Amino acid sequence: MPDIFFCGDTHGNFQHVIDAVQEKRPAAIVFLGDLQARQPLEVELTTILDLTEVWYIHGNHDTDTDADYDHLFGSALAHRNLHGRVVDVAGYKIAGLGGVFRGHIWIPPGPKNFHTHREYTAKAGKENRWRAGLPRKHYSSIFPTDYNYLASQRADILVTHEAPSAHPHGFAAIDELAQRMRVSRSFHGHHHDRIDYSKHRERLGFNAYGVGLCGMSDLDGNVVVAGKHDHEVPWATLHRR
């Protein structure tokens, strides 16, 4: 089967992705959030758009500023966001859950304070809206309605920004989503590290892989480009939600 590369948080750095695609020519690449493109995403990746399919999910930092949001959600590649849907990519059904759990909306296993964008916007008040909709920050919050829709679908691979429970800062809700979708593997970013989850395979029921800061992995979790902190444990410097 064609290969797919999964890209950890880039935070505006794309040269390693461009170099790897030009050298190895994967059928597709999937960004795991926190792209923070400094230009519209199609401009950042213009030299490889004819070489591979580009897909992504957003991360919490992709709504930090208007520019972060616009360069991703407003780019010519906005339709390649996998969040909240299942898409056939290079022969695999890939499901995406972008963003992070936030207490104001929902942190599992806690209560669901708001289920949908519309519900939150209606109660937030006009003074809290951004461009007549959600506060910008919450475009990268996970809402229960998106989670529940995915849980009713089937896929081969699940990509998330949040980690499964095998990570020290992961969530059982990610495990449960992957199990309900009957995926064989999952990939996540967010924590800038790459942990060996192999001992958790039997408990989880699927193969889980974290991809580090500016790292890239293939379909089997093998390193294509090593992450900047792959040999460290940067849990103390995790980003605020």
Write the CATH number for 74: 3.60.21.10
* pLDDT, tens only, 92-137: 999 999 999 999 999 999 999 999 999 999 887 777 889 989 999 9
- Domain count within the chain: 1
> What integer pLDDT is reported at residue 126 of this predicted model?
79
- What distance in Å separates the CA atoms of residue 154 and residue 140, rounded to the nearest whole number? 23
CA 22 to chain centre: 23
**Alpha carbon separation from 63 to 92, 121, 143, 180, 217 (Å, rounded):** 29, 17, 15, 29, 25
Q: What is the mean pLDDT of the chain?
A: 94
Spell out the residues 6+ positions from residue 220 whose beta carbon is closer than 8 angstroms to its own.
none
Which domain range does residue 68 map to? 4-55+63-237
Q: How far apart are CA 37 and CA 14, in angstroms?
A: 8
Summarize pLDDT for 38-83 with one digit per residue, the tens.
999 999 999 999 999 999 999 999 999 999 999 999 999 999 999 9
pLDDT at 212: 97
